């Protein structure tokens, strides 16, 4: 039997770092939007429903949907421009895909040169039909990345008013610190779920907590594996989380989101669904805290052993 969600469900907001952007505690991830089959009016309605829940932050990347998602979202903003001032737009750059939309790309590769960062940001603005990004992230660490050049590109985008804040995605602690010394970073968006706990133990989250920087967490449900994975790890976790969810009377996914957000670095999870019901369940996870024992039951199941 489905859980009844509170009628007054509303997502709070959180500042990622002093002087940084204020994002909703749950972020709507748009990377699958090309798969949702929505008309432009349905996309407008979906955005409005997210905003009504307090989910005001929308996560993009130039490459999502093979360079197609930002245009779909921008078409919705073009249909109803008043929505723009009610939200925060996040995008990423630094990966060049081989795609029909980019015939000049002969090989998939990273590009964190200043020219590419600036051109990508400006193209995202055109596709999203907006004059500014609230947050721009380097999508992946690039072996040819020159920290000073990236910082200079960020500075130029900030001076022009095209991007308000900057961050990274999938960076190690040292990579984050190296760029953060040159220009203030607002976040590091990393993979984090009960099925991927590495950032808890490789200094990524510890380092961000130490700096007072809030991470963003992609794939918090393990790409759906927590629901439908048939491997032993997913099976074991599913049973433990379901038992806790049933005991405290909360939806399964809400427990997972609450578990992630309970970490002291205050991770901000991303959703990946076009169903407003799934986003509401994520928002419900902001409304309760797990008992410490229950939190560690999930960690024990995730790691397959006791803490000591």
Among candidate residues 290, 289, 282, the one with its CA nearest the CA of residue 10: 282
Active-site residue, 64 included: yes
Cβ 63 vs Cβ 35: under 8 Å: no
Mention every residue, 6+ apart, whose C-beta is less than 8 A from residue 157: 117, 118, 121, 136, 163, 166
Q: What are the tokens at 253?
A: 């996914």
Cβ 193 vs Cβ 260: under 8 Å: yes
Positions of E strands within the chain:
13-15, 22-24, 27-29, 57-59, 88-93, 95-96, 109-110, 135-138, 166-169, 188-191, 216-218, 268-271
HSE, side-chain direction, 13 A CA sphere, residue 272? 15
Question: Looking at residue 164, what DSSP letter applies?
Answer: S
Q: Which of 23, 25, 29, 64 is catalytic?
A: 64
Helix/strand/coil for 185: coil
User: For residue 262, what are the CA distances in angstroms to 5, 92, 272, 295?
Assistant: 20, 26, 20, 9
In terms of DSSP bridges, do strands 216-218 and 95-96 run parallel, antiparallel, or are they unpaired? Answer: unpaired
Residues carrying an active site annotation: 64
């Amino acid at each position: 039997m489905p859980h009844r969600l509170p009628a007054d469900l509303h997502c709070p907001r959180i500042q990622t770092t002093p002087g940084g952007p204020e994002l909703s505690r749950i972020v709507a991830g748009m990377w699958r939007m090309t798969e949702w089959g929505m008309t432009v009016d349905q996309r407008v309605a979906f955005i409005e429903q997210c905003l009504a829940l307090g989910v005001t932050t929308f996560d993009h990347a130039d490459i999502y949907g093979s360079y197609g998602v930002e245009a779909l979202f921008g078409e919705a903003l073009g249909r109803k421009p008043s929505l723009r001032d009610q939200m925060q737009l996040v995008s990423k750059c630094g990966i060049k895909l081989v795609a029909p939309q980019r015939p000049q790309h002969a090989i998939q590769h990273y590009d964190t040169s200043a020219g590419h960062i600036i051109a990508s940001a400006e193209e995202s603005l055109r596709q999203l039909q907006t004059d500014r990004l609230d947050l721009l992230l380097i999508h992946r660490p690039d072996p040819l990345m020159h920290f000073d050049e990236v910082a200079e590109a960020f500075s130029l985008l900030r001076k022009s008013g095209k991007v308000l804040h900057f961050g990274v995605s999938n960076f190690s602690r040292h990579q984050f610190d190296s760029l953060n010394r040159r220009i203030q970073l607002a976040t590091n968006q990393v993979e984090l779920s009960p099925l991927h706990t590495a950032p808890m133990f490789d200094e990524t989250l510890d380092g961000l907590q130490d700096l007072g920087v809030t991470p963003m967490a992609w794939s918090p449900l393990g790409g759906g594996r927590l629901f439908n994975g048939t491997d032993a790890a997913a099976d074991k976790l599913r049973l433990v989380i379901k038992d806790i969810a049933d005991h405290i009377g909360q939806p399964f996914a809400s427990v997972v989101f609450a578990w992630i957000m309970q970490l002291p670095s205050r991770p901000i999870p991303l959703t990946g669904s076009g169903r407003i019901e799934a986003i509401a369940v994520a928002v419900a996870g902001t409304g309760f805290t797990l008992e410490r024992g229950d939190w560690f039951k999930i960690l024990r199941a995730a790691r397959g052993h006791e803490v000591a």
